[in-house]
Structure 1
Amino acid sequence: MEFALVVLVVALALSFDYTNGFHDAANAIATSVSTRALTPRAALLMAAVMNFTGALLGTEVAETIATSIVDLQDVPSHTALVVVLCALVGAIVWNLITWWFGLPSSSTHALIGGLVGAGLAGGLAIYGASIVDKVVLPMIFSPIVGFGLAFIVMVGLLWAFRRAAPSKTTRRFRLAQTVSAAAMALGHGLQDAQKTMGVIFMALLTVGWASPDEGIPLWVKLAAAAAISAGTYSGGWRIMRTLGRKIIELDPARGFVAESVSAIVLYVNAFALHAPVSTTHTITSAIMGVGATKRLSAVRWGVAKNIGIAWVLTIPAAALVAAIMYWILSPILL
């Protein structure tokens, strides 16, 4: 039974990783596609390759997910596996709901919400202080930094190119967007694929199939990288339309700045803070930031409000689904 549960958890984790890929594909390429810097299929292929590469560049975020959200020490392995299983179901369900409505919610926070909800339903201890430091504070500050930095950089860019020929400048920034989109996709893989690695690593640790000292097995890294890149290549057109056109009509220069700023925020959080931040929150706030340099009314704040509501609801909604799944499945599996 335990072996079957581990296999099921791994399969669900990779399924979550796949949904993360097509749910968050828009994060990396929506701006490039909307400004016609890249064709949709070329952008998806590039994002898939860079997602795979980024997923293999580090494990710090994965280890945060595995060891800093729910306390699985001294918990029977069977119980721990059921908790992780229900957490994944909660995250996948919320991903599919928001994808269906075209809302760019956070797969990161869906997963964390699922872990918290299933953990509480199972009577496990939650690392409250760690969640505040590694999840809540980055969740608050990353969008603020993304908006503010994108606004400032865009204002500086407008001033620097104020006398440049518009057609030549547009053409150059359209080319530059190829690089910025690749950087954003690399950051997405670096952040989001690691979260799936963390969940699988957590499951393997509970049954003694992995060692904290040896780190995350290579096959886990490769599987997570492959799943998110496959999901990315399958596309997420509903959310792509929201990010690329419904918030604001982007030009290549603004798309370049939004992607570049978002990539920087993702890299700093992954390598310096080891914090699992949301790529969705980061790119969306950066798009709003560059859009606000036109005029505040250029940003479609009604769409932004709907996105904000999805952000706020993500952790509690995924937690609730995961808790309900635990209450349903625990009498059967435990």
Structure 2
Amino acid sequence: MLLESALLAVVVAALVFAFTNGLHDAAHTIVTSIASRALTPWAAIPLAALMTLLGAFLGEGVARTIGQDLIDPIQGGDGLAVLFAALCGAAVWNLFAWYRGMPSSASHALVGGMIGAAMASAGEVRWGGVLTSFLLPMLVAPLLGWLLGYLIMLGILWLFRHTSPRSVNRGFKLAQSVSAATLALGNGLQDAQKTMGIVVLALVTVGHQSDYAVPSWVVVSSAAAISLGTATGGWRIMRTLGRRVSRIDPARGFAVEAAVSAIMGLTSLVWHAPVSSTHTTTSAIVGAGTARRLAEVRWAVFASIVKFWLLTVPAAAVVSACVYGLVRLVF
């Protein structure tokens, strides 16, 4: 009975984390469309919530990576304590970043939480999996975001160099309706699966299942939680991305959304790697801005964001280790 109660606590914590993930990542899925005035907030938020919900049903490769590649499952109550602590550490960091209005990565917070809680327990961290399935994608995805954002924006500037700015803006406002929906779909495909992976790992830990297949109820509940968070909106982070990093017009917004959508699809469906859509979007905004000129980007703001990125994994790890110690002390 106690083990079942602990499992329920982990599932609830996972859904709370998914909500904070949606609350946090809603900012980057719709900020470019709102900042460019292609969509109103009241159109962009329901669109993002719906497409995030749909994206959660399109695959489970990232969920399997989270469940299998990062830490060894620890059987019984201690394993559930590790997962509960990891989720608490990640959720606390998400809420702190949201409060500060900083576009931090919920994915990196979750992995940091898993590492911190596992190291505080008798568990083993699969460092080979952390390197290939987390650290490498963590570095590659933002670089790809910058490069694709830069190249797509450069192509737009060249193709429409003889077209009036008003006509270009009008055309890309329409195009952003499609690219914004695609970006939200990719967000659901990536981020909802991270919650699924944790819940499946909890089910394996207590012996409810022996493989890492994702049950339908896990897909539905994770998708609903992250979509609810997305529908709530992350206005603090939107102000940072939409106004403080670089000016966003419809053409630039389309370039960012197209770049990030392509990277989310590639990493989710082909690589099965948990990457940060927040970092990728921020880098794509910088890349699209530098396609015009370097002065388009507020580099001091971007440097502050990068510093926050670097704190995510160690901070979430420390919080998770403390939560694990508290859980062990009490129970």
Normalised by the length of structure 1, the TM-score is: 0.97
Quote the Cα distance in structure 2 between the aligned partners of 1:7 and 1:39.
39
* Aligned length, in residue pairs: 330
The amino acid that maps onto 1:82 is A
- Are the equivalent residues in 2 in contact too, given 1:16–1:92 (CA < 8 A)? yes
Corresponding residue number in structure 2 for 1:202: 201
Corresponding residue number in structure 2 for 1:133: 132
Corresponding residue number in structure 2 for 1:163: 162
How far 1:201 sits from its partner (Å)? 0.6
How far 1:157 sits from its partner (Å)? 1.2
How far 1:169 sits from its partner (Å)? 1.2
Corresponding residue number in structure 1 for 2:141: 142
Corresponding residue number in structure 2 for 1:253: 251
Which blocks of at least 5 consecutive residues in structure 1 are unaligned? none
Quote the Cα distance in structure 2 between the aligned partners of 1:154 and 1:111.
32
Normalised by the length of structure 2, the TM-score is: 0.98
The amino acid that maps onto 2:252 is R
After the TM superposition, list the runs of 4 or more consecutive aligned residues in structure 1 that deviate by more than 3 angstroms: none
How far 1:276 sits from its partner (Å)? 0.3
The amino acid that maps onto 1:46 is L
How far 1:154 sits from its partner (Å)? 1.0
- Are the equivalent residues in 2 in contact too, given 1:248–1:300 (CA < 8 A)? yes
How far 1:294 sits from its partner (Å)? 2.0
Corresponding residue number in structure 1 for 2:235: 237
**Equivalent position to 1:220, from 215, 218, 221:** 218
The amino acid that maps onto 2:265 is Y
The amino acid that maps onto 1:273 is W
Which blocks of at least 5 consecutive residues in structure 2 are unaligned? none
Corresponding residue number in structure 2 for 1:25: 26
How far 1:306 sits from its partner (Å)? 1.1
Deviates more, 1:145-154 or 1:107-116: 145-154
How far 1:329 sits from its partner (Å)? 1.3
How far 1:181 sits from its partner (Å)? 0.6
Corresponding residue number in structure 1 for 2:101: 102
Quote the Cα distance in structure 2 between the aligned partners of 1:36 and 1:297.
22
Q: What SS does the corresponding residue of 1:62 show, helix, strand or coil?
A: helix
Corresponding residue number in structure 1 for 2:78: 79
The amino acid that maps onto 2:49 is A
How far 1:11 sits from its partner (Å)? 0.4
Quote the Cα distance in structure 1 between the aligned partners of 2:245 and 2:209.
44
Corresponding residue number in structure 1 for 2:116: 117
Corresponding residue number in structure 1 for 2:189: 190
**Equivalent position to 1:273, from 271, 274, 288:** 271
The amino acid that maps onto 1:299 is V
How far 1:123 sits from its partner (Å)? 2.3
How far 1:92 sits from its partner (Å)? 0.5
**Equivalent position to 1:293, from 291, 294, 301:** 291
- The sequence identity of aligned pairs, in percent, is 48
The amino acid that maps onto 1:129 is G
How far 1:145 sits from its partner (Å)? 1.0
Q: What SS does the corresponding residue of 1:181 show, helix, strand or coil?
A: helix
Corresponding residue number in structure 2 for 1:57: 58
Quote the Cα distance in structure 2 between the aligned partners of 1:232 and 1:178.
17
How far 1:149 sits from its partner (Å)? 1.6
Quote the Cα distance in structure 1 between the aligned partners of 2:190 and 2:76.
27
How far 1:150 sits from its partner (Å)? 1.1
Q: Deviations over 1:107-155 (max 9, x none)?
A: 0000000000000000211110111111111111111111012111211
Corresponding residue number in structure 2 for 1:4: 5
- How big is the alpha-carbon RMSD for the aligned residues of Structure 1 and Structure 2? 0.9
Q: Deviations over 1:247-274 (max 9, x none)?
A: 0111100000001000101110001111
Quote the Cα distance in structure 2 between the aligned partners of 1:76 and 1:223.
24
